[in-house]
Amino acid sequence: MSIDLEALYLDLHRHPELSFQETRTASIAAGHLRDLGLEVEEGVGITGVVGLLRNGEGPVVWARADMDGLPVEELTGLPYASTATGVDPAGNTVPIMHACGHDMHVTAMIGAVERLVAERADWSGTLVVLIQPAEEYGAGARAMLDAGILGRYPRPDIVLGQHVTPLPAGVIGVRPGPQMAAADGITVTLHGRGGHGSRPHTTIDPVVMAAATVMRLQTIASRELDPREVGVVSVGSIHAGTKNNIIPADATLELSLRYPDDAARERVLAAVERIVRAESAASGAEREPEFHTEHTLPPTINDVEATSRVTAALNRALGDGTVIDPGMFTGSEDVSWFARDAGAPLVFWFWGGVDPATFAAAEAAGTVSASIPTNHSAYFAPAPHPTIEVGVTAMATAVREFMG
């Protein structure tokens, strides 16, 4: 009896879980993998799942899907929309939804494994399935590796992964070389001197310091990087103060930095530190600012030869012209850690999740950016069909390409 993948997707969509809290999702995925005959280990890197399928001599393929949701309130209005809540690391109760499509990733992976098991007479090798937690924290791949999976499982000859995105369902986007940017999440604490709002001259105002810092940071991408170079400096949050007539002592900025390679990373990080320290000094701060790196993600770089093979295989399976070059994405991923630590090539691609007619209408009207929700939007929800079917075929086809 085949797995009802639509029911699986709708169930996972209704029940998202925050990073490193994906116990229900992990249990469901592990159950399906066991039912399909895989050896399964749970609790890898806190909540990760590893499935192992040995099928004779041949290459070792690691296939990865991530499973965590985001602290976003779903506004899609779908009958299967999430109403879930959870507690974030700061202890706050937050809404949760699958605003990045990880429910679709798990669904497609389970479907691909089901197909590979059914076709096991036609291929030979070892499949390692990774159901990864906490991609949204940029920490799940590292956690699974730190848990020792490279020592307990056959080392990969190739690492594969895929991500649903707002392209028309049926379209695959992949390119050789840099596919996604490297990223750092950095928290900056600016130290001032607090006091009464009526006596600003007796204080060193960190709110003004923070405002000046935010504006000056914008010049890194616009004035310090080559216009042809990818570089993003975003301040995602500012926290300071508790009341309108109290000048606080400190202000905190949370930065998201993105770059195409290690050289650009060094330039941007140096510029951020220079600007933050300079604005702090310009404000007369008596304490140096503090910098804390929350996460670091490497660039997602697709192996040229392996990507060429996957592209040809997907065009054969899904029809010529299915695969496009979507350009480099400035978003970031932690899937590269698996390939980097193993010294193996990586192929990571995107597949469309938007109803083709809906996308075509938006394209004709010139409203794609405004009317097609993107990942992390409260309105993001891939169309179940044909997104599921294409995701299953894409992953199964890529695995088979390296299994003979």
Residue positions in the annotated binding site?
A: 100, 102, 136, 163
Q: How far apart are CA 371 and CA 35, in angstroms?
A: 40
Three-class DSSP category at 342: helix
Paired strand residues for 51: 40, 129
Q: How far is CA 363 from CA 63, 164, 184, 353, 367, in A?
A: 33, 19, 33, 15, 6
Pairing of strands 172-173, 323-324: parallel
Q: How far apart are CA 51 and CA 134, in angstroms?
A: 18
* Cis before 386 (ω within 30): yes
Phi-psi region of 239 (alpha: psi -120 to 50; beta: other; left: phi over 0): beta
Q: List, as residue ranges, the binding site for Mn(2+).
A: 100, 102, 136, 163
Structure tokens at 101: 């499509």
Taking a C-beta distance cutoff of 8 angstroms, is the pair 292, 183 a contact? no
Q: Which residues contact 277 (CB under 8 A, 6 or more apart)?
A: 288, 289
For tokens 């379209």, name the residue: 171
Count of CB atoms within 10 A of residue 85's CB?
Answer: 12
Q: Which residues contact 124 (CB under 8 A, 6 or more apart)?
A: 55, 56, 57, 58, 403, 404
